[in-house]
Structure 1
Amino acid sequence: MGDKLAPTTRHAYTHEGRVVYEWDQTLDECNFYVRTPPGVKAKILDVEVTSTSVKFGIKGNPPYLHHELTEAVKAADSFWTLEDGELHIQMTKLHKGRPWVSLFKGHGMLDPAAEEAEKARLMKERFAEEHPGFDFSGAEFNGAAPDPSKFMGGIGHN
């Protein structure tokens, strides 16, 4: 049932008409995706995730990207993979359920409609996690969706 509430689209950050990277999020994680040049192997990549930033590039060269994250992550729980020419960095959110409006500071925020859609999807994901016997995939909110990290005492509130 959780797969029905998984992100269905990635948010793209573009510069001069070119996609620089894409990202998506779940209640627990924020995922970062970037295409690497043809022929790049994992062993030559230099990837660093701290609680507040992401840096990566090819070893021995200046980083391709080094930016401050919009929200904090648990760096020790984060990992990366390279598959089919795409670098995927999976970062565990420090504040579970908090909707991110941008991956990196200064890289443009989600438009209001996309932000609201993310909040609604994350709220349904939270409901599904808290009530595993129910299917919330078709649920809709009447009005603005609440912040899933704060609604009714927050995640894990008893």
Structure 2
Amino acid sequence: MKQTTKFVLALAALSIAPTLAHENHGHASFSAGEPGDPKKPARTIEITMSEMDYEPSRIAVKRGEQIRFVLRNVGKEDHEFLLATTKENLAHAEVMKKHPHMEHDDPNGVRLAPSKTAEILWKFTKAGTFEFSCLIPDHRDYGMVGHVTVK
């Protein structure tokens, strides 16, 4: 089977996973919580992304809190913000090495070109430590990782 075909099949499987989760559990399942509700209040946290750095790189939130992340790429390269567990991000980083121009269309992640801004609205429903990282090849390896502690 050609690599392109395998990739297309893998993407198809990933694209139906939220649908299957929706059918089985009532909503898509994410390790760090769930997409936020724009009708409810949220605390805003601005994060700047630059070459191999997030500022701030450590964030503390309360379980049940809704956060509006305002993400600004102030660097000279594309950067990502993908909120998940370390294990999930490491697995996704391996896929990104094979497909470095992959775009994300997930409520817990975004890829931004230089000088661009985006928002992610997220409700932290689970306690623990989660990470946000840039999975563009080599960026995570060079330290582009941040952490969210949910208490």
TM-score normalised according to structure 1 size: 0.26
Between structures 1 and 2, the one with greater helix share: 2
Larger radius of gyration: 1
TM-score normalised according to structure 2 size: 0.27
Question: More relative contact order in 1 or in 2 (CA 8 Å, sep 6+)?
Answer: 2
